[in-house]
Amino acid sequence: MTGTELIKLWITCLEAERIRLTETGHDAPVVASQGRLVHTTGGLHLYEFVVPADVQLSVDLPVSVVPADEANTTEGVVLRQAGNSLSVQLVDALGCDIPSVTLVPDQVGLVSTSASRLKDMLA
């Protein structure tokens, strides 16, 4: 198998995964509670949230974070999940303590971007 064939195979797999994720509603919103600012470095803010026990979000997954008042929606990336504790790096600070937020995962976007970048490699 050549490198080009391997890249084409991965594009096909990623596009099939995107369709599966879209059809199964995999990017359903998740309510997280007990948010707290852990650390800020430059313009990046590390927050920890508590998610329901049945929620499993993968590392590097992009998420939109919508506070209860819907005033300061921001974007972030999941860095770690240990049990029901979720560490998320955010672009914008939401304050020290956040009682509740809605996390909107974007697995479909991540898979689509990956497939697009592989296509760019072949161009």
pLDDT band at 25 (very low <50, low <70, confident <90, very high): confident
pLDDT band at 86 (very low <50, low <70, confident <90, very high): very high
In the prediction, which pLDDT does 69 show? 82
pLDDT digits over 27-84, tens only?
889 999 999 999 999 999 999 999 999 999 989 999 999 988 877 889 999 999 999 9
In the prediction, which pLDDT does 27 show? 80
The secondary structure of residue 80, as a DSSP letter, is E
Rounded to an integer, the average pLDDT of 2-14 is 93
Phi-psi region of 86 (alpha: psi -120 to 50; beta: other; left: phi over 0): beta
CATH class of 28-105: mainly beta
Rounded to an integer, the average pLDDT of 3-28 is 89
Rounded to an integer, the average pLDDT of 13-28 is 87
CA distances from 24 to 44, 72, 75, 107 (A): 32, 29, 23, 12
pLDDT band at 26 (very low <50, low <70, confident <90, very high): confident
What is the 3-class SS of 29-69, one letter each residue? CEEEEEEEEEEEECCEEEEEEECCCCCCCCCCCEEEEEECC
Rounded to an integer, the average pLDDT of 89-97 is 92
Q: What is the mean pLDDT of the chain?
A: 91
